Structure 1
Amino acid sequence: MSVILESKSSRVCINEKGAEVCSFVLKETNLEYIWQADETYWARHAPVLFPFVGKLKGDSYTYNNESYTMNQHGFARDMVFIVEHQEKDSATFLLKSSEETLKNYPFHFELRLIYRLVDNDLTIAYQVETQSEEMYFGIGGHPAFNIPLVKGTNFNDYYLHFAPSKSRFLLPLEGAFINLAEKTLAQTNTSIQVERRIFEKDALVLETKGENAFSILSDVTNHGVVVSYDNLPYVGIWSPFPKEAPFVCIEPWAGIADTTDATGKIEDKKGMNLIHPGDVFERSYKISIK
C-alpha cells in the first residue's frame, strides 16, 4: 500500500513499508527524480535509517551488559508503518516498538515520519519519543536520485554543488567503518563533477553544521535536485562503485557508522542521540526538485 501527496506542480508516492518515498514527479514534464529500485544496482528508493545509521562492528552492540544484533541501517526500513494522518499534501507515518523490535533493540519508542509537500518542495520530518528510562538511537535519510535525470544526458554531465561554499570535514571509511584518525578537510568550497571514482572508497561522509544545501545540477539541463537542512550533523553522498548505477544518494544523518575503534557499547557510540521520557527529538530535511 502507498500514500499519494499532490501539489499543483508535483506528486509524491510513499510506501507504507518503511514509510519510504518511492516517487517524486514533476507534473509538467512527468520527470521522475527518485531512483526506481532496480535490484541490479540497489533495490531501495529512499529508506529511513533507524535506530542506527550505517554498520555496527560484528553487526552487534551492548547495552546494560546485554548483547544485541542489528543489521546495517537498522530495522525501520523493512517494517510497515501505520498511516496516522493523511491529507492531500501531507501525511504522518507511525512506527512503534513491539515484541519483535525489543528482541534486537531494548527501548520502547514511537517514531513518526511527517511528510509535507509544498509546490516542488518535500519536507521529511522525524519525531522520536521514548517510554524507556533512556534511549539511544541514530536516524537519517537515504534518498536516491536518478542520474542522469533527463534523456540525452549522462552521469558525468552532472555535478555536486555545496552551499554554503566552504570546506567541511570528511570522515573517511575504512571498509564499512569511520576512521576518525584520518579525518581531513574536503574541498566542498567548490563544485565537484559526478564521477564514478569519487565513490571508489564508498560514501563520502561529511560533518555538517548549521544550514546546508547539497545539489545535483548540470550545465546541460535546468533540471536538478537540492537536499537542504539546518539541524543535522552529517551527510553521506553515495553511489555503489564499481557498478555504473544511474543514481546518486544524498543522505542527511543524525548518526554514523561505527568508528574503527568503537567499543561496541551503545552509550559510547559516536553520533548517537540520547532522549528521556518526555523528550521529543525532532529533525527534518527538504528535497526540492526543478
Structure 2
Amino acid sequence: MKYTLKNKNVQITASTFGGELNSLLSKKNNLEFLWNGDEKYWKYHSPILFPIVGKVKDGRYIAENKEYELPQHGLARTKEFKMIEKDENHVVFELLWSEETLKVYPYKFSLKLSYELLENGVKVGYSVTNLDDKDIYFSIGGHPAFMCPLFENESFEDYYFELNKKEHAKIMILDSNTGYFSRTESEFLKDESIINLNLELFKSDAIVFKNLKSNLITLKSNKNDRELSMDFTGFPYLAIWTKPTGAPFVCLEPWYGHADFADFKGDITEKAAIEKLSIGTEFTASYNLYIK
C-alpha cells in the first residue's frame, strides 16, 4: 500500500513494502528527485538497512550462542510494514518481530519508519524499541538514491557534492570482491568540501566517511541550479555510492554501523559500531532531505 503526502512545494510517496520512500517530487517544477527503481540498474528507491548495514562476514553471525544467516543490509527492506499513524503531514510504518524474523535475527523488536513533510523536503525518522527480555544488538541506516543526472542533456560527471564544512577526511577501504572493510583508511579530502562525481570514485564500491565535521551534504550540478541536500546530523557514518559500471543515480547513505571488517570473528556483541539497546528502551535517529 502506498501513501502520498503533499504541501505547496513537495509531494512524497511512501510504501508499506519495506517501509520505503518511493518518491520525492518538487511540485514547483514537477521534478522527481528520488531514483525511480528501474530494475535494469537497481530496483530500490530508498531501502532501510536493518538490523545490519552492509554484509556480515561469510553471511553468518553468532548471537545468543547460535549461528544465524542474514543477507546484505538485513531483513527489513523486503518486509511488509503496517501503517500505524497518518495525517496530512506525516505517516508512520511499523515492522514487528515475528517467528519468521526470529529465525534470522533472535531479538524481539519494533522498527518504526516515519515520514514527515517539511516546507521543502521530508524528515525521515527511525525508531527501534527493544521488546525482548534481554539486550538487543543492531545496526541501522538509510540508502536513498537520487536521480543523477536530473535532466537528459546532462551527464553523471556534471554533478558534485558539497559539504557544509571543509574536511580533512579519510575513507574506509572496502574490498569490492568481498564487501568487507580492511582496517586501513585512505586519504580523501584535504581541507576540501567538494566531491566531483565520476565512476572512478566507485571502482571499489562505496565511499565511506566516519565522523565528519559536516552535517549537511548537497548534490549540485554544473549545468542547472537544482539542489538536493541531506542533513545527517548524529549519524557517525556517511556513504556515497553508485554502480561502478554506471547508473543514472547516486546514493547518500547515513549509517549507524557498517559492513564487517575482514577479520571479524562473528559474535554480534563484538561487531564494529554495533548499537546495544537495553530492555524496554528506544533508539531514535532521523535525517532530513531538502530539495531546491
* Equivalent in the alignment of 2:205: 202
**CA distance in 2 between partners of 1:214 and 1:47 (Å):** 19
Q: Could you tell me the percent identity over the aligned residues?
A: 34
Three-state SS of the structure 2 residue aligned to 1:192 is strand
For 1:146-157, list aligned pairs within 5 A. Answer: 146-157=147-158
**CA deviation after TM superposition for structure 1 residue 210, in Å:** 5.8
Three-state SS of the structure 2 residue aligned to 1:101 is helix
**CA deviation after TM superposition for structure 1 residue 64, in Å:** 2.3
Q: Indicate if the aligned counterparts of 1:130 and 1:278 stay in contact, CA closer than 8 A.
A: yes
Root-mean-square deviation (CA, aligned residues, Å) is: 1.2
Q: Which moved more, 1:9-18 or 1:117-126?
A: 117-126
* Equivalent in the alignment of 1:186: 188
Aligned residue type for 1:275: L
* Equivalent in the alignment of 1:30: 30
For 1:106-121, list aligned pairs within 5 A. Answer: 106-121=106-121
For 1:107-186, list aligned pairs within 5 A. Answer: 107-132=107-132, 133-175=134-176, 176-180=179-183, 182-186=184-188
**CA distance in 2 between partners of 1:212 and 1:168 (Å):** 14
Give TM-score, length-normalised by structure 1: 0.96
Aligned residue type for 1:198: L
**CA distance in 2 between partners of 1:36 and 1:249 (Å):** 12
User: CA-to-partner distance for each residue in 1:45-84, whole Å, 9 max, x for gaps?
Assistant: 0000000000011111001220000000001000011111
**CA distance in 2 between partners of 1:224 and 1:150 (Å):** 13
* Equivalent in the alignment of 2:216: 213
**CA deviation after TM superposition for structure 1 residue 209, in Å:** 4.6
**CA deviation after TM superposition for structure 1 residue 184, in Å:** 3.1
Q: Indicate if the aligned counterparts of 2:165 and 2:213 stay in contact, CA closer than 8 A.
A: no
Verify: 1:258 aligned to 2:260, yes or no: yes
**What stretches of structure 2 of length at least 5 have no aligned partner?**
none
Aligned residue type for 1:262: F
Aligned residue type for 2:153: G
Q: Indicate if the aligned counterparts of 2:162 and 2:218 stay in contact, CA closer than 8 A.
A: yes
Verify: 1:282 aligned to 2:284, yes or no: yes
Aligned residue type for 2:118: V
**CA distance in 2 between partners of 1:274 and 1:267 (Å):** 8
**What stretches of structure 1 of length at least 5 have no aligned partner?**
none
Give TM-score, length-normalised by structure 2: 0.96
Three-state SS of the structure 1 residue aligned to 2:166 is coil
Q: Could you say if the C-alpha distance between residues 210 and 90 of structure 1 is closer, same or farther in structure 2, counting changes exceeding 3 Å?
A: farther
For 1:3-152, list aligned pairs within 5 A. Answer: 3-132=3-132, 133-152=134-153
Three-state SS of the structure 2 residue aligned to 1:151 is coil
**CA distance in 2 between partners of 1:238 and 1:73 (Å):** 14
**CA distance in 2 between partners of 1:228 and 1:161 (Å):** 12
**CA deviation after TM superposition for structure 1 residue 190, in Å:** 3.0
**CA distance in 1 between partners of 2:20 and 2:193 (Å):** 31
User: CA-to-partner distance for each residue in 1:90-145, whole Å, 9 max, x for gaps?
Assistant: 01111100000000000000011111111212111111111221100000000000
**CA deviation after TM superposition for structure 1 residue 238, in Å:** 0.3
Q: Indicate if the aligned counterparts of 1:209 and 1:230 stay in contact, CA closer than 8 A.
A: no
Q: Indicate if the aligned counterparts of 1:211 and 1:228 stay in contact, CA closer than 8 A.
A: no
**CA distance in 2 between partners of 1:210 and 1:267 (Å):** 28
**CA deviation after TM superposition for structure 1 residue 211, in Å:** 5.0
Aligned residues: 288
